[in-house]
Amino acid sequence: MKVLDKSFNLFITSASIQERIAELGQQLALEYTDKNPLMVVMLNGAFMFAADLVRACDFPCEIAFVKAQSYKGMESTGNVELQLGLPASVSGRHVLIVEDIIDSGETLHAFLPYLQSLRPASVDICALLRKPTAAKREIAASYIGFDIPTLFVVGYGLDYDGHGRNLADIYQLDDSVF
Ligand code: 5GP
Ligand code: MG
């Protein structure tokens, strides 16, 4: 499979993703039924995961979108600029951050203090993917779809240079090709 100039191999099928999301929905229901959580979706990458996840959540909830652009320069300071903010109504709410992937953890590490400053009742994280061996920051996330090796992935919302977000399956970079 090619996206732009790079070759990718099938990694997680659409069927496995949907199966895991159904489980996450049931797990979330144990915690959030009767809490009317505010699902905070991290754009752009999490848009597809969030659309399927909220349909697997059989309890009342609200959905908001944020866009945080991280600049990972030479120093991994995790500078994050919020390009699209939250509604003011976070105070006292149970917030669940919906993220596509936790890689270094810098993005969420930078975003969490801002979110905490809005005085939510609780904050937790649901990420479809996590790369444990890439972690530079420890991020406490109770809900993880799949732990994966430190490999570049595309599809199901995740892009390579803006492309591949529309793929229903997740693909990993074929690093055997040079
Ligand atoms: P972190 O700040 O945790 O290093 O990175 C989080 C963000 O980097 C993710 O939300 C995602 O947008 C991007 N990212 C990290 N790893 C990958 C990957 O393997 N593929 C793609 N397409 N994006 C990634
Ligand atoms: Mg992202």
Pairwise CA distance, residues 159 & 153, whole Å: 8
103 is catalytic: yes
Pairwise CA distance, residues 110 & 56, whole Å: 29
Say yes or no: CB of residue 52 within 6 Å of ligand 1. Answer: no
Among residues 103, 161, 174, 175, which one is catalytic? 103
Helices 47-55 and 14-32 pack at an angle, to 10 degrees, of 60
Over its length of 178 residues, how does the chain's per-residue pLDDT go in tens digits?
999 999 999 999 999 999 999 999 999 999 999 999 999 999 999 999 999 999 999 999 999 999 987 655 444 455 677 767 787 789 999 999 999 999 999 999 999 999 999 999 999 999 999 999 999 999 999 999 999 999 999 999 999 999 999 999 999 999 875 5
Cis? peptide before 44, omega within 30° of 0: yes
Tokens encoding 107: 């993005």
- Ligand 1 mean position, distance from CA 154 (Å): 10
Pairwise CA distance, residues 1 & 9, whole Å: 6
